[in-house]
Amino acid sequence: MICYLCQNPTTPDTTWTTFLAPTTSPICESCEAQLPTITQPFCQRCMKPLDTPVLCQDCQTWTAHFKEDPLTRNISLYRYTPFTQDIINRFKYRGDYEIINAFQPAIQSAYQTHFQPKPRRTLKLKSHQRQPQSPTIIPIPLHPDRQQDRLFNQAEAIARQINQPINTTILTRHDNTKQSKKSRHERLASHNPFTLNESPPDHILLIDDLYTTGTTLRQAAAFLKQYGAKSVESFTLIRS
């Protein structure tokens, strides 16, 4: 096994546990230790690390701005540190696609705990008690020109790690300016860069790589809600 993050070979210790129940991890222990997982307390909606588990200032502003926040909640895996920044740089800008494999177990377990509906444990399934539906997974689209340069869409790459059907046709993008090149104010004031191609499903899970101000996700969420989506949640790899 070669660690996807540091490219060093990892050799698990030979113990009875690893012998009887071999587990493979795509990353080595030292890289795993450096990954800053988000722990409580954090903002109950956007997972921004806070001192007390309340609604953060940003989310309050968003609620005031939209009257009702289009984004039900956001789940992120890691904080934005020099280490994760470096990973994102390598992944997005250098184009090392396979780095994302390092996060597959983490992404899948996060999906299962937060977004996959729990099957109801009733003895008899009554006809009016329908099983809850799992959300439609929509990665935040990339402008075609950018996708041609990069050869992949980073949000789609993350979405593919979940191993569930994903939908890339509903939402497309027409604005080509980079979010990372804009200031906070510019981001908040920017117009909706998305185009809708079909009528959206009821429950939607948006996927992106970074949650910085939450503008992109909220623009997409508001847009989808405007055209009939009932609830929109989001999942990002990193919350800065």
Binding-site ranges for other proteins (CB under 8 A)? 2, 7, 90, 94-98, 151-152, 160
* Residue 7 CB, nearest approach to other proteins (Å): 7
* Residue 170 CB, nearest approach to other proteins (Å): 16
Q: Which residues contact 153 (CB under 8 A, 6 or more apart)?
A: 139, 141, 142, 147, 168
Q: Which residues contact 6 (CB under 8 A, 6 or more apart)?
A: 28, 30, 31
Q: Are 91 and 238 in contact (CB under 8 A)?
A: no
Helix-helix angle 215-226:57-66, to 10 degrees: 30
Cα 132 to Cα 227: distance, rounded to the nearest angstrom: 22
For other proteins, the closer CB: 32 or 96? 96
Cα 81 to Cα 183: distance, rounded to the nearest angstrom: 20
CA angle 220, 153, 133 (to 5 degrees): 55
For other proteins, the closer CB: 2 or 189? 2
* Residue 94 CB, nearest approach to other proteins (Å): 5
Cα 19 to Cα 22: distance, rounded to the nearest angstrom: 6
For other proteins, the closer CB: 41 or 95? 95
For other proteins, the closer CB: 44 or 147? 147
For other proteins, the closer CB: 153 or 219? 153
For other proteins, the closer CB: 11 or 40? 11
* Residue 2 CB, nearest approach to other proteins (Å): 6
* Residue 162 CB, nearest approach to other proteins (Å): 14
Cα 3 to Cα 140: distance, rounded to the nearest angstrom: 28
* Residue 28 CB, nearest approach to other proteins (Å): 15
